[in-house]
Chains A and B, each alone.
Chain A
Amino acid sequence: MVELYQTQRAMRNIRRAALQRGVIGILDIGTSKIACLVLRVDSNGTFRATDGVGPMAGQVNFRVIGAASTRSRGMRRGEIETMAETERAIRTVVAAAQKVAGVRIDHVIACLSGGRPASYGLAGEITLASGQVGEHDVALVLAACETPDFGRGREVLHAQPVNFAVDNRTNLADPRDHLGNKLFCDMHVLTVDGDVIGNLVQCIRRCDLELAGIASAPYASARASLVEDEQELGAACIDFGGGGTGVSVFIKKHMIFSDHVPIGGNLITQDIAQGLRVSLPVAERLKTLNGGVEATGRDDHDMIDVGSDTSEWEADRRHVSRADVIGIMRPRVEEILESAREVLDAAGFDYMPSQQIVLTGGGSQIPGLDGLAARILGPNVRCGRPLRIDGLAHQLTDPSFSSAVGLALFAAHPQDEWWDFEMPADRYPARSLRRAYRWFKNNW
């Protein structure tokens, strides 16, 4: 844990340095597309709230000065499969965004959707020696959380304190200076496969960029697409991506659960390609232009040309009805939604006070998805678009960019993580000068 603490702190310092310099890059590496935003961070408060971009969710103190997105390469199920291909895709998108922005970016914040995320709820408890919660007591209680065995090669991606309690007073956001005898805390820890992170870090480093932070993609898209009330009262965000579907549950503005279902839009495309015997690009085109989940009588007459270049008239001049496409897509979409339901059930979403579900990501643009999702997931379903941020071009505001926008919010306003607090003195290596300094600072 100490090593993780050090690396995350180093990353946080890089992010601070980048914010000081005023330019930071956002890299959303998905399975179907890679998006890069260049943010100009306003450190002296000169940006003003413009039309529709208010200071409410903290999206006012940065501005997008360059944005680009390109087809992703070498990715499968949210993980990097071919490093060199992914590196080329990152180079393409970073070069394009830099060209638009006119500045070079040195620090990027990336997000990771795959890597078999696992979320843990940890609880910690300490006895307050001074009868009052001090700065270092918070760090102590966070360090006192008993960590289960995460498994071999797992890395902690997020470790956010969700709740503090002093004696019998719970739901405290900031327990400092509270009087009491005992301090409890609940922490949400998200671990992912360490090698997946390692690959991502390696890829980004090979593009001469420095990693200033990593976030989980479901977390990022939930921050962009859940409105403040939903984050406060409790909601689940389902991010339909190309390689997988991310699920995250929020309450009291903290993520308390996150998981990833490795079934995504690419599988739908594959189904169409197999079912209609067309190439993958044609299938992708059919899915995006003519896809849907609710067939009507009209769709039987809606014939679509599916051409191919086999030089055979029979094969090249085929028509399929839209109902055929829908008939292929619907079972797969249902499967995705069922899996999301299972994940939510496993997380105990039924016991949440509010059962709002927000669908986002590229897959949420399938027409009729909200009706189908309402039948499977529950009545309170809406399709969410990402929050408006200043300077983002209109074509980049559709739901498939919600994790990029969420990462921008994460860059500008990170939530407290465990490593944002000072490490308690006994976690420092023994005989360290800093340990002595810390002991003096805490006790005198």
Chain B
Amino acid sequence: MPVVIDHRPGKQVTPQPRQRRDPAPSRLQYRLERMWLTPLYRRILRVGIPAFVLAMVAGLWLADEDRRALLRDGLNSVVQKVQSREEFQVRTMAIEGASPVVEKALRAMLPVDLPASSFDIDLAALRLQVMQLDAVETIDLRIKPGGILSAQVVERKPAILWRHSRGIEILDDTGHRVASVTSREVRPELPLISGEGADLVTEEALALFDAAGPILPRVRGLVRRGERRWDLVLDFGQRIMLPEKGALVALEAAIALHRAEDMLGRDIVSVDLRDPSRPVLRLGIDARNTIREARGLPLLGPDGNVLPDNEG
């Protein structure tokens, strides 16, 4: 508290009449305002200069090699940290609908060892790789919650055996290769086809096998001739030569003949149905000799030539 208290009335403050500011803009302010309203300056000031300053600062900072490396490492580590989180880990692979061989191949194809991050598994590439397997028809790959890589495999069904010059292959009903086998006896239940280009017409072949019902036990297989028509080969070397078009109808006609007259039970080497209007039978040597003997003609040898008359 001050020692002396001043009780005099305060100094009379006369209110100064407030000096009104000149409302007119100064010439500099006026010119700046007009410049600001010029579109070019406006754009430069609002966009150009901030962008330039940003680029400048970023460029100067990044000019140093160490800082760039630092930045790169930092970014990589952040990405790594996120990708290796527990939530993204794939622990097991569940395969459904695959045979043991295919399953083994699938597991071998997986590029990383489980557990791995789901970012490291490229499902599209893996699917393309798996589709290279002939035995697999479709595969549905997905990563399920809980870290399961699920693969739903649909395998091709073996439908037919195809013997060609390089071995025997199993085909499915569309003619696509399923697997190779070493011998016919491995899959005796499958019908056999052979010849070049036979795999392209497996559907027709399967239809022909279906149509061959009553003589199926005698059928050895189908032979593709000249990549255009089929020969149905039976046991004892008999063959039915089918036409290029209407093979099924021709086969049914031949089977009808067989039913009516036991055609194939007789000594016939081949039934030529290539011209549907004029079926031709070729008789065996025994049958022809029997006829020749009855007619008194010289007999034929096994090679089809007339035997020399030994009796004379």
B-binding residues in A (CB < 8 A) = 70, 88-89, 91-92, 94-95, 98-99, 102-104, 207-208
Contact = CB atoms under 8 A, between A and B. Distances in A.
B100 interface: no
A354 to B, nearest CB: 45
Contacts, number: 29
Contact of B25 (A91, A102, A103, A208): A91
A89 B23 CA distance: 9
Interface in B24-71: 24-25, 27, 30-31, 33-34, 37-38
28 contacts: A70-B23, A88-B22, A88-B24, A89-B24, A91-B24, A91-B25, A91-B27, A91-B30, A92-B23, A92-B24, A92-B25, A94-B30, A95-B25, A95-B33, A95-B34, A98-B33, A98-B34, A98-B37, A99-B33, A102-B37, A103-B37, A104-B34, A104-B37, A104-B38, A207-B30, A208-B30, A208-B31, A208-B34
Contacts of A98: 33-34, 37
Interface of B: 22-25, 27, 30-31, 33-34, 37-38
The prevalent SS among residues of A at the interface is helix
A208 B27 CA distance: 10
A51 B64 CA distance: 66
A104 B31 CA distance: 11
B30 A95 contact: yes
A419 B189 CA distance: 111
B112 to A, nearest CB: 61
Contacts of B38: 104
Contacts of B37: 98, 102-104
A382 B257 CA distance: 123
A92 B23 CA distance: 7
Nearest to A207: B30
Given A91-B24, A91-B25, A92-B24, 10 more contacts: A88-B24, A89-B24, A91-B27, A92-B25, A98-B34, A98-B37, A102-B37, A104-B34, A104-B38, A207-B30
A15 B31 CA distance: 22
B15 to A, nearest CB: 11
A347 B24 CA distance: 41
Contacts of A94: 30
Contacts of A88: 22, 24
Nearest to B29: A95
Contacts of A102: 37
B22, B24, B25: which has the most chain A beta carbons within 10 Å?
B24
Nearest to A70: B23
A207 B31 CA distance: 9
Contacts of B31: 208
Contacts of B27: 91
A402 B309 CA distance: 144
A91 B38 CA distance: 17
A102 B39 CA distance: 10
Nearest to B37: A104
A94 B37 CA distance: 12
User: 4 tightest CB-CB pairs across the interface, nearest first?
Assistant: A88-B24, A104-B37, A92-B24, A91-B30
